[in-house]
Structure 1
């Protein structure tokens, strides 16, 4: 998939922390819904395809680790799909945020994966990777810095 150039590049500005947190909360609900669907499918697979009894499901290491892997991959897939297509997740659309390269293009799948992995590190460091926005001149978070991207506010569309 080729990168597309975004429009209105002169009208965007770096996203402040409150907007980022708002979008993060919205997207957290979406990821939770995705995770519920993945967990239900995982349990159904082991119950009806593998033929395990209800009391056996989730007792082996294979089941636990496959579910964890599926949850991580589904979250990364959600963000990568959204960011590479239009630069926005549904939560970001609500807050008028967009992720783009520093040159104003849609980001690559690799940049999306890097952003997701660094986001986990940012959270586990007590959110420091996002608090970084308050100290960076260009309001970049750790995921922005490491992936070579930026998160911007897009202007309201004129009607």
Structure 2
């Protein structure tokens, strides 16, 4: 007869709304160097392969679209690697947060992909629309609308019965608080 009791797995508490919000802003700041590095590599590769000037990318709509797709793929890769390795990006480590699947388990690949896509629907339109508005004032109302849409996941969290962000509700994931002891283990 085995006298050892089964281990009790405790589900960490959901991180607070403000903590998730500040971590999100910090994540944006940390994404800037990632995006800039990818942009430099893209521009260098383009120049080496074609011999064209740097301005050739901005002069061609197809090359701009390809550039945008490369940047989105890089951001996708960054989040997938971080979330799958330990459930934390650098910003999440700083704010002692972790992305978990349902019941405190590691989030599955499909859940991570769904979470990224749901997030992208809210966050991705903002930057291109502001760039368009910078060049053409007719896009300004759309840029402001995208900024309002940017807040949708956080407004959803206020209304959600469990306080989950919109992308977490859709993907079946949670952002939880991690104690200092758990984080270092």
TM-score surpassing 0.5?
Answer: yes
- Larger of the two Rg values belongs to structure: 2
Tell me how far apart the structure 1 counterparts of residues 78 and 41 of structure 2 sit (CA, whole Å): 17
Q: Is the 8 A contact 1:38 1:71 kept in 2?
A: yes
TM-score for both structures, normalised by structure 2: 0.74
TM-superposition CA deviations, 1:69-105 (whole Å, max 9, x none): 0111111111111111101111011111111111222
Once the two structures are superposed, the pairs formed by residues 6-155 of structure 1 within 5 Å of their partners are 9-10=9-10, 12-123=12-123, 124=146, 125-155=149-179
Tell me how far apart the structure 2 counterparts of residues 72 and 117 of structure 1 sit (CA, whole Å): 11
Q: Secondary structure at the match of 2:53?
A: coil
Which structure 2 residue ranges, 5 or more long, are not aligned?
Answer: 1-6, 124-145
Q: Which segment is superposed worse, 78-87 or 117-126?
A: 117-126
Tell me how far apart the structure 1 counterparts of residues 16 and 79 of structure 2 sit (CA, whole Å): 20
Tell me how far apart the structure 2 counterparts of residues 152 and 48 of structure 1 sit (CA, whole Å): 45
User: What is the deviation of 1:8?
Assistant: 8.5
Tell me how far apart the structure 1 counterparts of residues 104 and 150 of structure 2 sit (CA, whole Å): 30
TM-superposition CA deviations, 1:32-76 (whole Å, max 9, x none): 111101111111112122111344342222311111001111111
Cα pair distance change 1:55/1:120, threshold 3 Å: closer
Q: Is the 8 A contact 1:99 1:152 kept in 2?
A: yes
Task: Let me know the Cα RMSD of the aligned residues.
Answer: 2.2
Which structure 1 residue ranges, 5 or more long, are not aligned?
Answer: 1-6
Q: Which segment is superposed worse, 95-104 or 131-140?
A: 131-140
Q: Is the 8 A contact 2:114 2:170 kept in 1?
A: yes
Q: Secondary structure at the match of 1:152?
A: strand
Q: Is the 8 A contact 1:102 1:150 kept in 2?
A: yes
